[in-house]
């Protein structure tokens, strides 16, 4: 690498993913460039030798380094560590158990430089065992600069704030200078919800690109999305942060309706997936759900639940109590 700053910093949080490190690193070798740097943040793995595997495998990846936390901090904190160490004009993320198609990073840089926007959002490929499925971002207007706020609504449809994956995109450093790229430290799940909301509310421009070079593993036994422990309940804090940060937005009333609907969808999903949770955690989930729903007015809640489906509406009505006339 020359003395000038890299064009792109790739931030890769890693925790208990030793088995997947070879494929992840190989995919980055197939994307390497003198203008790219690769920052692996090892979040003090406890079950395997992720750190040792990273040290060995990254020897063949130019411009890479491994940063190790003194104690486990969670995904949001690991990403922030990478952000703080990054020197690139642009930043992107990759989870340690996922991988990239060859040449994908160069394509990402090409799009953001061509349009000179604050950020670019992409499609991705979900991987479940041997199955592959393309997941398109919810924005239909492709390869044209857009106002990020224009992709938040409508309330009752899937929009870009419902597609929060930080790794599905590339971000200009000027966002970091404006305080828009860091995550809320300590969030262990749903860390990207407040992040994506703030990005779409406060950034000035973005492009939705038809790139699909990120391969996202689903259903891994050790993945936090598959584990029913207390960390799952951080989504309450995440959505409470979204609502708190909306308070001074010039369109707070409209956007709050969208955020409340998102919140209710996630609460219902977690309640209906009760078999995944330890008994004590499920009891805590019910308690926190009742408290969260109780902070919403009945009018707000009725509006949020319209068209959500009978099972979810019934579940949320039963948890909160006292709700009448909600249309499923």
Q: Where in the chain are the domains?
A: 8-224, 228-320
Average pLDDT in the 66-89 region? 97
Average pLDDT in the 282-307 region? 95
Cα–Cα distance for residue pair 28/66, rounded to 1 Å: 14
Quote the pLDDT of residue 323. 47
φ, ψ at 278 (rounded to 5°):
-60, 150
Quote the pLDDT of residue 328. 43
Q: Show Cβ contacts of residue 32 under 8 Å, excluding neighbours closer than 6 positions.
A: 38, 61, 62, 63
Average pLDDT in the 20-49 region? 97
Quote the pLDDT of residue 75. 94
**Which neighbouring-strand residues pair with 38?**
10, 64
Residue 31: name the closest of 66, 62, 76 by CA: 62
Q: C-alpha angle 18/24/27, rounded to 5°?
A: 155
Residue 222: pLDDT band (50, 70, 90) is: low
Quote the pLDDT of residue 215. 98
Average pLDDT in the 178-186 region? 96
User: Above 90 in pLDDT, residue 290?
Assistant: yes
User: Above 60 in pLDDT, residue 227?
Assistant: no
Q: How far is CA 73 from CA 69, 70, 180, in A?
A: 8, 9, 20
Check residue 222 and report its DSSP letter: T
**Domain 8-224 fold:** Spore Coat Polysaccharide Biosynthesis Protein SpsA; Chain A (3.90.550)
Give me the helix-helix angle, 279-294 and 310-320, nearest 10°: 80
The tokens describing 209, both together, are 């690109």
- 2 versus 255: the higher-pLDDT residue is 255
Average pLDDT in the 179-192 region? 94
User: Above 60 in pLDDT, residue 223?
Assistant: no
Average pLDDT in the 32-57 region? 97
Cα–Cα distance for residue pair 13/55, rounded to 1 Å: 14
Residue 229: pLDDT band (50, 70, 90) is: confident
**Among 64-73, 213-222, 308-317, where is mean pLDDT lowest?**
213-222
Q: Are 47 and 16 in contact (CB under 8 A)?
A: yes
Residue 61: name the closest of 78, 36, 86, 44 by CA: 36
Q: Are 258 and 239 in contact (CB under 8 A)?
A: no
- Find the largest Cα–Cα distance for the chain: 66
Quote the pLDDT of residue 324. 47
- 1 versus 238: the higher-pLDDT residue is 238
Q: In what order do the strands lie in the sheet with 214-217?
A: 99-100, 214-217, 124-128, 131-135
What is the percent of the chain where pLDDT is above 70? 95
Cα–Cα distance for residue pair 316/271, rounded to 1 Å: 9
pTM, full prediction: 0.93
Residue 321: pLDDT band (50, 70, 90) is: confident
What is the percent of the chain where pLDDT is above 90? 88
Residue-wise pLDDT for 230-283, tens only, equals 989 999 999 999 999 999 999 999 999 999 999 999 999 999 998 889 999 999
Cα–Cα distance for residue pair 32/34, rounded to 1 Å: 7
Average pLDDT in the 85-111 region? 98
Quote the pLDDT of residue 274. 83
């Amino acid at each position: 690498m020359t003395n000038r700053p890299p064009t792109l910093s790739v931030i890769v949080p890693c925790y208990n993913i030793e088995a997947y490190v070879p494929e992840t690193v190989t995919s980055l070798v197939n994307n390497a460039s003198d203008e790219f740097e690769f920052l692996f943040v090892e979040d003090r793995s406890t079950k395997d030798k992720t750190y040792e595997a990273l040290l060995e495998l990254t020897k063949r990846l130019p411009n890479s380094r491994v940063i190790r936390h003194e104690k486990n901090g969670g995904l949001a904190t690991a990403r922030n560590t990478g952000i703080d160490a990054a020197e690139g004009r642009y930043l992107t993320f990759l989870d340690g158990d996922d991988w990239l198609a060859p040449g994908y990073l160069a394509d990402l840089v090409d799009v953001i430089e061509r349009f000179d926007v604050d950020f670019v959002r992409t499609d991705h490929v979900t991987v479940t065992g041997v199955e592959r499925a393309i997941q398109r971002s919810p924005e239909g207007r492709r390869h044209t600069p857009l106002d990020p706020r224009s992709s938040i609504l409508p309330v009752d449809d899937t929009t870009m704030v419902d597609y929060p994956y930080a790794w599905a995109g590339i971000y200009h450093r000027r966002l970091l200078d404006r305080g828009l790229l860091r995550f809320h430290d300590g969030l262990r799940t749903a860390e990207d919800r407040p992040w994506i909301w703030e990005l779409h509310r406060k950034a000035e421009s973005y492009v939705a690109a038809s790139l699909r070079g990120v391969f996202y593993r689903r259903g891994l036994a050790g993945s936090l999305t598959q584990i029913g422990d207390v960390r799952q309940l951080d989504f309450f804090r995440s959505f409470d942060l979204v609502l708190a940060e909306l308070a001074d937005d010039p369109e707070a009333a409209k956007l709050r309706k969208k955020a409340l609907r998102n919140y209710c969808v996630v609460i219902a999903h977690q309640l209906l997936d009760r078999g995944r949770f330890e008994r004590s955690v499920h009891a805590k989930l019910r308690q926190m759900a009742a408290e969260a729903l109780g902070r919403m007015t009945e009018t707000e809640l009725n509006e949020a639940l319209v068209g959500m489906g009978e099972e979810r509406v019934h579940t949320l009505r039963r948890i909160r109590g006292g709700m009448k006339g909600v249309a499923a």
